Structure 1
Amino acid sequence: MGDFDGVKANKNINPMKKNPIQPQSLAAIVADRLKSSILSRQLALGEALSEEKIASAMEVSRTPVREALTLLQLQGLITILPRRGSFVFKPDRRTLHDLVEYRLHLELLVAGWATERAPEALHASLMEALAAMEKSRAEDDALAYATADTQFHDAFFIHCANPFFVEAYDIAAGRIAALRSHLSGQLGLHRQKTFQEHQDMAEAVKRQDVDLLHKLLRQHIEAMEPNYASALEILQP
């Protein structure tokens, strides 16, 4: 179990405070901390979670922990099995295939829109992500590379000018980010050709060549399935 220091029920929420911005619920705060622990690899894929231990570590009651796990179940990051408990998401081969297929079609669509609707802003975001990827490669930091990888692909959604597609992607975004964090380093993807692939995609955006971008993006995303399937097999007990 990761270290969830700093979450205090009484200090984080003041229901009497008049503020136009509503504070997060305690359950949402716990959910954010758990999600961060999954993405930072403090919690392993498939790891069993104890409500009692989480509540103790975060100094909260079990009620917000239970609510937080339900929130993360809706995001697909937690699997709750009756009479067995709660577990960090870990996909089987079929689920992995479905995730890749869902991401592929959605990202191809928004990537084209973003390139047509906000090419300069999109390119600037991609270059910012590439700079972070280059830095993480120099430091051989696979987790930082995975975070920058997520930043790169999120840019297509941010600049597509249609918030409903951002909401649609949220269904799978957490699980995709978790797979990057846990498996990319194991596969050494930050040292291999994926960086060049990202550079090529950024160049296609700069040239506003949507056809080339779609070709590169399709190849890049489709390679995710066999790569991650191999890594997941290694993680099997």
Structure 2
Amino acid sequence: MQEKEPRAPSIQTRVTDGVRALIIDGTLSSGAALSEVALADDFGVSRTPVREALKQLQTEGLVVIRPRVGTFVTTPSRREITELFQLKELLEGAAARLLAVRGTVPELELLRENVRRADEAVLAGDVDGYAALVHEFHTLIIEGADNDKLAQHYRMMMNQLAYTRLVQTSLSKPGRLVESETEHHHVLDIILSKDGTTAERVMREHVRASQQALLESMTFPNERRP
């Protein structure tokens, strides 16, 4: 029996994925106004799929639609970031534990290579390159856990965090670049030792350290001062 050709994504899906990617990588910054007309021109479509795409992205927490005002990229509050990082800590801690007890799997060699390239980026002062490798490091741990449900929840959470943009912000804290890579080495060493309990603990500690560096590097204009 001849295999069916995979269906091309719908116009709405293509627009949704495209706008989501622009928000996550920081091309569309927090608080940016989104024009249906401009997006329709950019993607070569009518306004209808753009409008539906923006509704979907609002359900994902990436944009906010204000009737009779406009649509804007979400600006997360301190509380929202804290809550998402609490969930990130739980999921990545569990993933590190699951990966550690799986034995020899392809993701381990990929993690070794990731850390090697990250060392080079740190030595070169390549913050952008290192930020991309941070995203890859965490993704490899999720993939190495081999748990589809965990990975599904993780992807949804990471979309809400627009993580690539936030990594750049956290790395702006003096000394954080070296600290982050040292923590990655420690996480990998424990995973390779096959100690699941300790792997979960050190992974959670790493996520908490990342959260602290991020919050110390951010300003929240609408936050009330004591």
Q: TM-score, normalised by structure 2?
A: 0.84
Instruction: Go from structure 1 to structure 2 and tell me whether the alpha carbon gap of 1:224 and 1:185 turns closer, same or farther (over 3 Å shift).
Output: closer
Shift in CA distance, 172/70, structure 1 to aligned 2, threshold 3 Å: same
Aligned position for 2:186: 200
Residues paired across the two proteins, number: 219
- CA distance in structure 2 between the aligned counterparts of 1:137 and 1:80, rounded to whole angstroms: 40
Instruction: Give CA-to-partner distance per residue, 1:10-31, whole Å, 9 cap, x none.
Output: xxxxxxxx95311111122222
Structure 1: runs of 5 or more not aligned: 1-17
- Using the TM superposition, give the Cα deviation of residue 140 of structure 1 relative to its aligned residue in structure 2, in angstroms: 3.3
Assess if the C-alpha contact under 8 Å between 2:167 and 2:214 holds in 1.
no
Distance 1:193 1:86 in 2: 38
Match of 1:212 in 2: 198
Secondary structure at 2:139's aligned position in 1?
Answer: helix
Quick check: 132-141 or 206-215, which moved more? Answer: 132-141
Question: How far 1:189 sits from its partner (Å)?
Answer: 6.6
Letter in 1 for 2:30: L
Q: 1:228 aligns with which of 209, 214, 218?
A: 214
2:16 counterpart of 1:31: yes
Show CA shifts across 1:149-192 (max 9, x none). Answer: 11111122212222111111122112332443451343367633
Is residue 2:31 matched to residue 1:46? yes
Classify the secondary structure of the residue corresponding to 2:71.
strand
Give the distance between the partners of 1:84 and 1:19, measured in 2 at CA.
45
Q: 1:33 to 1:128 in 2, by over 3 A?
A: farther
Q: Which amino acid aligns with 1:223?
A: A
Q: How far off is 1:202 after superposition?
A: 0.9
Provide the rounded CA distance (Å) in 2 between the counterparts of 1:60 and 1:139: 42
- TM-superposition CA deviations, 1:193-219 (whole Å, max 9, x none): 101110111111111122332232121
SS in 1 for 2:27: coil
TM-score (norm 1): 0.81
Segments of structure 2 that go 5 or more residues without pairing to the other structure are none
Matched, 1:21 2:6: yes
CA distance in 2, matches of 1:188, 1:72: 34
Q: 1:232 to 1:81 in 2, by over 3 A?
A: farther
1:4 maps to none
- Asked if 2 retains the 8 angstrom alpha-carbon contact of 1:145 and 1:190, the reply is no
Match of 1:153 among 138, 141, 161: 138
Q: Is this contact kept in 2: 1:76–1:89, CA < 8 A?
A: yes
Q: Show CA shifts across 1:50-88 (max 9, x none).
A: 111111222221112112222323332222233332222
Given that 1:28 and 1:68 are in contact with CA atoms closer than 8 Å, whether structure 2 keeps it comes out as yes
Amino acid at match of 1:41: G
Q: Do the aligned partners of 1:187 and 1:231 also contact (CA within 8 Å) in 2? A: yes
Q: Determine the C-alpha separation between the residues in 2 that align with 1:175 and 1:93.
A: 14
Moved over 6 A (4+): none
The aligned counterpart of 2:53 is 68
Q: Percent identity?
A: 25
Q: Does 1:91 align with 2:69?
A: no
- Does structure 2 retain, via aligned residues, the 8 Å contact 1:49–1:86? yes
Structure with the bigger RCO (C-alpha within 8 Å, sep 6+) is 2
**What residue in structure 2 maps to residue 141 of structure 1?**
126
Residues 115-138 of structure 1: per-residue CA shift (max 9 Å, x gap): 112543232231232234234334
